[in-house]
Amino acid sequence: MAQVLLEGVTKVYPGGVRAVNGVSLTIEDREFVVLVGPSGCGKSTALRMVAGLEEISAGTIRIGGQVVNDVAPKDRDIAMVFQNYALYPHMNVAQNLSFSLRLRRKFGFWRNPAGWIGSGDYRRRSAEEWQEIGRRVADTARVLGIENLLARRPRELSGGQRQRVAVGRAMVREPKAFLFDEPLSNLDAKLRVEMRAEIKRLHRQVQTTTIYVTHDQEEAMTLGDRVVVMKDGVIQQAATPYDVYERPVNRFVAGFVGTPPMNFFEGRLVDSGGRLAFEDGDLRLPLAPEQAGRLARFAGQGVVLGLRPESLHADPGSAGPSGATIRARIVLTEPLGDRTDVHVQTGRYSRVICRVDARTRVKEREMVDLVADMSRAHFFAASAEGENLALP
């Protein structure tokens, strides 16, 4: 277990492509940090640089206080779980789990044949090594619930079982840090949810520093102690899942995190009779009092209003008591069991999504008043990746 520290880490590929650009990040001892972002954002490259599988172009990486820029991957004392499992097909589960430990034996026959033949102490210590390997394999199999699979080969296992073996092969080494590179992307939806819970339970049990890469924001939000959102090789925000969702630092983070994504409305803030409101030509939405004070200095300026689907409530035939309403026509409904995602059109926007309780009856092509919860609204600078103006 160890702290992992990235200081100004950069990766430039031939041709001048910057995959990672000046990333600085501290992963504390025993912390579970998830790197998330769209394809090509640099998250996997950053992970591979920590593992030593990619050379860094600039910056410093420290594991447990030791600079590892020039340390070979095998000497960094980290364990990596890949997307494709990479199990040895000719070995059974027990042999796959123990393989790295067998390679690291200090008292194997091949290391000192003369000692093995002529020294009883050497053979005794060799036997102790085998006992320790057996103990670690048994303990790991018990934690992962695969004790009854130790004699099987990978082709005899399901996808979830193979994933457990891949995780177990990393666990058995008791490394300083675990690195996961999109380990669940090959699994079906149900199994992915189950394995997500297994990985989280496993981390709580073994308490090892973990860096996890995924493009699935739901995985990121449910697994991480902290979530690191990346774009174009740069960290946009590194915070708790709650803060990334409720307090996004800019429009990119707000639009990337959340399913369905946040709705954006372009307009300006106006001061009418001492009360601040958002206007875009068709809409006039008064700000909540707690936000008006922070945003008063932006009165008269162009801004982007962000409302998550759950902050818009479909209430047919009612304008609602707040006056913060949006008149719209329902074009599509997506029943999801306990809730329904409703796609609507407004005068200026062809696609706005709100989320309603499954018991709320709405019909396609029906006109509806969406009541906006302005206490949960976000306001961004009027640019593609504008900062969140509503943050304290």
Three state DSSP letters for the chain = CCCEEEEEEEEEECCCEEEEEEEEEEECCCCEEEEECCCCCCHHHHHHHHHCCCCCCEEEEEECCEECCCCCHHHCCEEEECCCCCCCCCCCHHHHHHHHHHHCCCCCCCCCHHHHHHCHHHHHHHHHHHHHHHHHHHHHHHHHCCHHHCCCCHHHCCHHHHHHHHHHHHHCCCCCEEEEECCCCCCCHHHHHHHHHHHHHHHHHHCCEEEEEECCHHHHHHHCCEEEEEECCEEEEEECHHHHHHCCCEHHHHHHCCCCCCEEEEEEEEEECCEEEEECCCCEEECCHHHHHHHHHHCCCEEEEEECHHHEEECCCCCCCCCCEEEEEEEEEEECCCEEEEEEECCCCCCEEEEEECCCCCCCCCEEEEEECHHHCEEEECCCCCEECCCC
Give pLDDT, residue 389: 93
Give pLDDT, residue 206: 82
Give pLDDT, residue 227: 97
Lowest mean pLDDT among 113-122, 166-175, 190-199, 282-291: 113-122
Query: How far is residue 41's CA from residue 181's CA, in Å, rounded to a whole number?
Result: 14
Chain segment 225-235, per-residue pLDDT in tens: 999 999 999 99
User: Given CA atoms 173, 177, 178, 179 in this order, what sign does their dihedral have?
Assistant: negative
Q: Kindly report whether the global pTM for this prediction surpasses the value 0.85.
A: yes
Burial of 392 (C-beta count, 10 Å sphere; 0-12/13-18/19+): exposed
Name which of 94, 198, 200 is nearest 147 in CA terms: 94
Give pLDDT, residue 115: 61
Mean of the per-residue pLDDT values of the chain:
88
321 falls in which pLDDT band (50, 70, 90)? Answer: very low
Burial of 374 (C-beta count, 10 Å sphere; 0-12/13-18/19+): buried
Chain segment 32-63, per-residue pLDDT in tens: 999 999 999 999 999 999 999 999 999 999 99
Q: Looking at this protein, which amino acid is placed at residue 104?
A: R
CATH code for residues 254-381:
2.40.50.140
% of residues, the chain, pLDDT over 70: 94
CATH code for residues 4-246:
3.40.50.300
Per-residue b/e over 230-267, b at no fewer than 16 CB within 10 Å? bbbbebbbbbebeebbebbbbbbbbbbbbeeebbbbeb
CA distances to 117, 136, 316 from 131, in Å: 20, 9, 70
Residue 239 predicted with pLDDT over 70: yes
Give pLDDT, residue 319: 42
Q: Mean pLDDT across the stretch 140-159?
A: 89
CA distances to 4, 5, 61, 190, 365 from 65, in Å: 8, 8, 9, 40, 62
Query: Inter-axis angle of helices 120-144 and 159-171, to 10 degrees?
Result: 140
357 falls in which pLDDT band (50, 70, 90)? Answer: confident
> Can you give the residue ranges of every domain in the chain?
4-246, 254-381
Chain segment 64-106, per-residue pLDDT in tens: 999 999 999 988 989 888 877 788 899 999 999 998 888 877 7
- Cβ contact 172:137 at 8 Å: yes
Q: Mean pLDDT across the stretch 234-247?
A: 96
CA distances to 172, 173, 233, 254 from 135, in Å: 10, 12, 42, 47
Burial of 384 (C-beta count, 10 Å sphere; 0-12/13-18/19+): exposed
Place of tokens 């939806």: 189
Give pLDDT, residue 318: 44
